[in-house]
Structure 1
Amino acid sequence: MSADISPPDSPRRTRRKEARPAELLEAATCLFVEKGYAATRVEEVAARANVSKGTLFLYYPSKEALLKAVVRENIAGRFVEWSNELRDFAGSTPDLVRYAFAVWVERIAHTHAGGIYKLMTSECCNFPELATFYLEEVIKPGHDLVRRILQRGIERGEFRPIDVNAGIHLIMTPMFSYIQWRHSMGVCYPDSLGISAQAYFDMHLDNLLRGLAAHPQ
């Protein structure tokens, strides 16, 4: 790594310092998804971000703190934004469901953020504290968001009355199945799903919305 000889207060130094947290989180996200939490060393994260291990610890005092920051940056920290989008959505609830899926595919499923689900499910039994953290900051808020969508549809007469808690899993299980495949078998065999991602989600949405419809066509 080349030495930066810029003056301590130069704009270049300032920009570099401000960018470091994002660079470290990007490097950590990639490595955690590629190798798993236990197998990733903080030295590797620092090297990929082109900083020293000491610099990494200035921002994130432990590997656990680094993983929590990765989860918050990629998923947990977005729930306020997603909640506001739900609140302000003016269309029908079926259109809201389609929009939510499209956003999730674009922002989560087809990015490194999608690999966080596989990472956490594979590591949670070995790191119970991280499992509790993920449950409280990702799973429960995610369920609450989907619950609000379903309740919106029921209250507006667009969806038939259902067991909402069961409906949450009806919606989310195929999503998680897809990213589990994408970040496991799909890494080595991209065509092993047998259909395109678009076809997969189109079929799921068609079946889902037909099943939820208050007045099926």
Structure 2
Amino acid sequence: MSKPSVPSPSGKTAPAHLRRKAERPQELIDAALALFVEKGFAATRTEEVAQRAGVSKGTLYLYYPSKEELLKAVIEQRLSAEIAAGAAAVAAHTGSATELLSDVLSAWWARVVASDASGVFKLIITEVRNFPDIAEFYNEQVVRPGHALIAGMLQAGIDRGEFRPVDVDATVHSLLLPMVMLCIHKHSLGVCQPSDAMGDPAVFIRHHMDLMLHGLRN
């Protein structure tokens, strides 16, 4: 029995083998992230990624010529895309800077922590020192745009008189680092002790934002 076809964007049906081919990059990224977080980037072999994705090693190299390029694709899709989505939410926001930080940023972090994107932070912290090219890519794609996005929110609040004048760069770090630690915890101690004092990540995020906002308000 032949496999069913599915509608293409043009309304016509695409053969199943073409649909499968189109899905392969995503399947490889999903498999790579899962293995990188479980075993570490250095310890994961490309054959293992291909096997988990259900393709040959040769097929993997057709899409990603090296393991480093595969990790870059993971970073770009899981975190760079999230930062772009966050920037779009900030641009569309019409309320106060306080609401922006409290609602938009909280929702963004809750979404990241709840998804497998959170595993990228553990991966970067534990592995990237041995891969300078990946470190620079991560800085360009995640650290710098993410820092700039949050710094812009803070500066807007200061300019409007909602927030007292603070060291913006230091405050960005104060906002971000506990959230990054929450992601790392999820994939380290949180795996062994899922019911420990960290509790519900969404509650932690809201509590952290509340503490920060009370320190920022003029």
TM-score w.r.t. length of structure 2: 0.89
- Counterpart secondary structure, 1:75: helix
What amino acid is the match of 1:48? R
Deviations 1:178-197 (A, max 9, x none): 11111100011112234332
Give the equivalent residue in structure 2 for 1:154: 158
* CA distance in structure 2 between the partners assigned to 1:56 and 1:198 by the alignment: 36
What amino acid is the match of 2:167? D
How far apart are residue 80 of structure 1 and its match?
2.9
Contact map agreement 2:175 2:212 (CA 8 A) in 1: yes
The 5-angstrom pairing of residues 19-168 of structure 1 reads 19-98=23-102, 99-106=104-111, 108-168=112-172
Task: Flag structure 1 segments of 5+ consecutive residues without an equivalent.
Answer: none
Are 2:187 and 1:171 equivalent residues in the alignment?
Answer: no
Identity value in percent: 45
* CA distance in structure 1 between the partners assigned to 2:207 and 2:86 by the alignment: 24
How far apart are residue 81 of structure 1 and its match?
2.7
Are 2:206 and 1:202 equivalent residues in the alignment?
Answer: yes
* CA distance in structure 1 between the partners assigned to 2:32 and 2:105 by the alignment: 27
* CA distance in structure 2 between the partners assigned to 1:193 and 1:180 by the alignment: 15
- Counterpart secondary structure, 1:125: helix
* CA distance in structure 1 between the partners assigned to 2:69 and 2:198 by the alignment: 38
Contact map agreement 1:33 1:112 (CA 8 A) in 2: no
**CA distance change for structure 1 residues 193 and 35 in 2, over 3 Å: closer, same or farther?**
farther
Contact map agreement 1:186 1:193 (CA 8 A) in 2: no
* CA distance in structure 2 between the partners assigned to 1:194 and 1:124 by the alignment: 26
* CA distance in structure 1 between the partners assigned to 2:35 and 2:116 by the alignment: 10
Contact map agreement 1:118 1:180 (CA 8 A) in 2: yes
**CA distance change for structure 1 residues 123 and 194 in 2, over 3 Å: closer, same or farther?**
closer
Deviates more, 1:154-163 or 1:51-60: 154-163
**Alignment length (residue pairs):** 209
- Counterpart secondary structure, 1:141: helix
* CA distance in structure 1 between the partners assigned to 2:181 and 2:82 by the alignment: 21
* CA distance in structure 2 between the partners assigned to 1:125 and 1:80 by the alignment: 26
What amino acid is the match of 2:24? R
How far apart are residue 155 of structure 1 and its match?
1.5
Task: Flag structure 2 segments of 5+ consecutive residues without an equivalent.
Answer: 5-13
* CA distance in structure 1 between the partners assigned to 2:143 and 2:75 by the alignment: 12
After TM superposition, the runs of 4+ consecutive aligned structure 1 residues lying more than 6 A away are: none
Give the equivalent residue in structure 2 for 1:184: 188
* CA distance in structure 1 between the partners assigned to 2:66 and 2:172 by the alignment: 34
Contact map agreement 2:113 2:201 (CA 8 A) in 1: no
